[in-house]
A and B are shown apart, each in its own frame.
Chain A
């Protein structure tokens, strides 16, 4: 096992443990901070795979944006300590069974299959290529994303706005 593989497994373990804590923790604050581990671990996996731009995006958008937003949202609403503890999970054994079944099924099928898309083996910077794709082949999608975001913003602002009677 090369150094790459060791680092990969390390990050994979971090993200799995983080996700498990996020799902299982009864405290919502701890769940949010466990997500930090999960997001960081995924960013690490991207980095090992040679997707440098994606790794940075993962940190900037998820850790820096989404996570901070969730944390502030929870801290500002006040009821933090036991917010999730009151919720009783029914059918836990059945849920675990189904999840495990899906996991084993997927694992078994995917272990036997071959992927045509591999990692960035040469470890070249990907930013330039991504930039060219975004403003080249994918320009329509890139521009349309702005229409989409504008619409989502206007709609969300409408839904949270308090109507003056």
Chain B
């Protein structure tokens, strides 16, 4: 055969290993073509139908796709981590799409779905990328789709500001990361993160520990991490987060808070497992990660205390959660990765639930400040109860899923402190727990205005909470409660999916 040359890879695996991504990619031109042929009257409906259909189909495929670690032409890896974060990204895409269709996005659904599908597939490939070039392409797809989606409310000046800020911060972070990647590539001589034999960067990591190269290696890793820190909104790259979440459509903010952050954490886990797999640099990198984690959660929690805007408050809460999750990465071991995957899955439900409910209130009252929630405990008991469950879970209290999530993360920190005799990790764990107490201060403000308000302050008029909205909220809140008690199954799943990362 003419084509059967040695340099042409066998791509037959792509349709079994990456079927979900393939469906999402194919749906993009299909939506555009459908828009052309549907005509103005049916255009929005057709776009919604195809977009949602593609997302749901991709989710089903992602559920049944194997996660056996097969490499696709060295660029992508179909392992458990890829599968976990692919499921998270697509599920977030589905819920964000439902929220957007119910709320802000009434026109230009074709364009919205093209960007959303692009963002989802970007997040999936970011989590699966095993090559620095592929990784950069996937991250940029996710970022640029994010910029477009954040600015989607063209009639809203804040939305435009959000998109602009996101672009400028994103461009700088991207440049820093790319510089770090070139250094890593130069030191290691390969852009492949892991090969079947093991971690490619392990050798340079161990070389770096002994030779004069250690400062350069550390700089390269920190530069790459800086770009990823921007994606997960970790300090000192968190400044964009509140403004962008406030200005962006609420469903888009939810997508950025879960799918973007998740993809960032998948890369961070993959990258740090590669660079900490050998040598004495591991301890330094662990300390760097832990300190960034602690600073991030403290900044997020303290700033959230002063917020009166629900979207900004959730943004600072998202920053704080980036800190909690980074703690699980900082221990750089298998159990830590399991805790991160577990927490990410819990975080998906509680954060999307909270954002979805903020979206409902915004749609009905046109407001995002906390006072808009006054008396909801009496006006809409079901709604208020669901929001309360999500917020209690974000705080990390039992009997919600946030409790086992935080427990597993900080368990690893104290276990690591015990094993390594590390006082840094011990005090890090203590600071982390104190942060949980601080966060109680602002999450309970919602509960206070919803339940403990004066009777005469309660606005009259009905609060509509039914149909699709009620179904979606219950679907997102029920797992938060159930997983708070019966978390063993999810923990085993997280353990399977995180296997082999470290």
Contacts and interface: CB of A to CB of B under 8 A. Distances in A.
Interface of A: 105-106, 108-110, 112-117, 132-133, 135-141, 144-145, 147-148, 150-152, 154-159, 163
Most buried by B among A108, A156, A159: A159
A23 to B, nearest CB: 14
Given A110-B183, A148-B137, A155-B115, 10 more contacts: A105-B219, A106-B219, A137-B7, A138-B75, A141-B137, A144-B141, A147-B28, A151-B144, A152-B148, A154-B115
Contacts of B215: 108-109, 112
B148 A159 contact: yes
A109 B219 contact: yes
A163 B153 CA distance: 12
Interface string B34-48: 000000000000000
Interface of B: 7-9, 11, 14, 25, 28-29, 32, 72-76, 107-108, 110-111, 114-115, 117-118, 121-122, 125, 131, 133-134, 137-138, 140-141, 144-145, 148, 151-152, 154, 163, 183, 185-189, 212-213, 215-217, 219
Contacts of B144: 148, 151-152, 155
Contacts of A154: 32, 110-111, 114-115
B213 A151 contact: no
Contacts of A152: 118, 144, 148
A152 B141 CA distance: 8
What does DSSP make chain B's interface, helix, strand, loop or mixed? helix
A158 B159 CA distance: 14
Nearest to B207: A114
B9 A151 contact: no
Given A112-B216, A140-B73, A159-B148, A117 B186 contact: yes
Given A113-B187, A147-B28, A163 B118 contact: no
B114 A113 contact: no
B9 A139 contact: yes
A139 B163 CA distance: 31
Contacts of B212: 112-113
A136 B163 CA distance: 36
A117 to B, nearest CB: 5
Given A117-B185, A148-B140, A151-B118, A136 B213 contact: no
A110 B223 CA distance: 14
Contacts of A148: 118, 122, 137, 140-141, 144
Contacts of A145: 137
Contact of B186 (A109, A116, A136, A158): A116
Given A105-B219, A109-B216, A155-B148, A135 B8 contact: yes
B137 A137 contact: no
Contacts of B217: 113
A158 B219 contact: no
B108 A158 contact: yes
Most buried by B among A105, A135, A136, A147: A147
What are the nearest 7 A-B pairs in CB distance?
A116-B189, A155-B148, A151-B118, A113-B216, A158-B111, A136-B7, A109-B216
Contact of A132 (B7, B133, B141): B7
B257 to A, nearest CB: 20
Contacts of B131: 141
A151 B114 contact: yes
